[in-house]
């Protein structure tokens, strides 16, 4: 069974973490499969992507059972860390908005995936934490940047220093979660949000993501370039026309 599954419908993509017997813990192969899966969905015309787990959990992190092989020493760990970093970067840098729909365990690398997403919904049954200090390993710098962006410096340090687990209410209180939804409504709520986003101007969404990234890194060149594209786009002309004509805009991403 593939550990990473994908599907698209009505401009909305679903990236499914699929190892339910292990609460969707990800092997090195699964980490490596994430970037091409996201790229394929964008190529297929996806305008918003939902990431969620199959079964009872979002993602329990890395599959520790293979660490004696894929993380046995510094050399093998470097290869594994690159797969992690590439997956987090692919999620964070993909040009379309991403939504994490979280239930059950959201731990370690799974927490990193959620942090890399633009928006996060969870059920009250969700559990969050980063157990790196319990395992004696370091967390990738790229993923740490996502954690700091998602919860702030002090909360990030507290999460990592204590290796505690937290409930959804706590994570919403510190700004990590956009909303807490009923377990039976999680997929429906995520899809409704994705459909709403996908109906709007994709070039603007890409520019918005780049601008927010630039604001955090104080590097505006990429954001400026993407922002400039919007002003000469067909979508900008369509948006102005729709506003004048008091009708919904029909955006094409061109």
Which part of the chain has CATH 3.90.226.10?
4-198
**Interacting residues of 28 by C-beta distance below 8 A, sequence separation 6+:** 66, 70, 79, 80, 83
**Helix H or strand E segment including 11:** none
C-beta separation of 71 from 34 below 8 A? no
Which ranges of 94-233 would DSSP assign to H, the alpha helix?
A: 109-116, 132-135, 141-151, 153-162, 168-173, 186-198, 202-217, 221-231
Three-state DSSP class for residue 136: coil
Phi then psi for residue 251, to 5 deg, are -85, 145
Q: Where does 4-198 sit in CATH, by number?
A: 3.90.226.10
Distances (CA, A) of 127 to 68, 116, 132, 144, 166: 26, 17, 16, 19, 6
pLDDT of residue 42: 96
pTM score: 0.90
Report the alpha-carbon distance of residue 167 to residue 193 in Å, rounded: 23
What sign does the dihedral 109-111-116-119 (CA atoms) show? positive
**Reduced to 3 states, what is the DSSP secondary structure of residue 125?**
coil
Three-state SS at 251: coil
Distance (Å) of CA 171 to CA 14, 127, 155, 176: 24, 9, 10, 5
Q: How far is residue 8's CA from residue 126's CA, in Å, rounded to a whole number?
A: 25
With contact defined as beta carbons under 8 Å apart, do 52 and 58 qualify?
A: yes
Residue 117's closest CA among 185, 61, 52, 165? 52
Q: Tens digit of pLDDT per residue, the chain (254 long)? A: 479 999 999 899 999 999 999 999 999 999 999 999 999 999 999 999 999 999 999 999 988 788 777 666 778 777 878 888 899 999 999 999 999 999 999 999 999 999 999 999 999 999 999 998 887 877 777 788 899 999 999 999 999 999 999 999 999 999 999 999 999 999 999 999 999 999 999 999 999 999 998 888 756 566 667 767 777 888 878 888 887 898 998 999 88
How crowded is residue 220: how many other Cβ atoms within 10 Å of its Cβ? Answer: 14
SS3 27: coil
């Amino acid at each position: 069974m593939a550990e990473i599954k994908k599907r698209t419908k009505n401009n909305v993509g679903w990236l499914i973490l699929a190892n339910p017997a292990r609460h969707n813990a990800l092997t090195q192969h699964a980490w490596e499969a994430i970037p091409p899966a996201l790229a394929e969905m964008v190529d297929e015309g996806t305008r918003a992507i939902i990431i969620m787990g199959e079964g009872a959990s979002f993602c329990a992190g890395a599959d520790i059972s293979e660490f004696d092989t894929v993380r046995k020493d510094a050399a093998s760990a470097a290869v594994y860390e690159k797969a992690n970093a590439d997956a987090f970067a692919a999620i964070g840098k993909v040009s379309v908005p991403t939504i994490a729909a979280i239930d059950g365990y959201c731990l370690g690398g799974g927490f990193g995936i959620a942090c890399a997403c633009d928006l996060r919904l969870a059920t009250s049954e969700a559990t969050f934490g980063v157990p790196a200090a319990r395992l004696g390993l370091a967390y990738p710098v790229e993923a740490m940047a996502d954690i700091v962006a998602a919860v702030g410096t002090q909360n990030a340090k507290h999460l990592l220093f204590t290796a505690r687990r937290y409930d959804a209410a706590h994570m919403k209180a510190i700004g990590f979660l956009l909303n807490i939804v009923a377990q039976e409504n999680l997929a429906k709520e995520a899809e409704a949000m994705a459909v709403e986003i996908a109906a709007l101007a994709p070039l603007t969404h890409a520019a918005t993501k780049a601008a927010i990234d630039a604001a955090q890194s104080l590097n505006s060149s990429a954001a400026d370039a993407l922002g400039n594209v919007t002003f000469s786009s067909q979508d900008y002309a369509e948006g102005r026309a729709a506003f004048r004509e008091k009708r919904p805009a029909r955006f094409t991403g061109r």
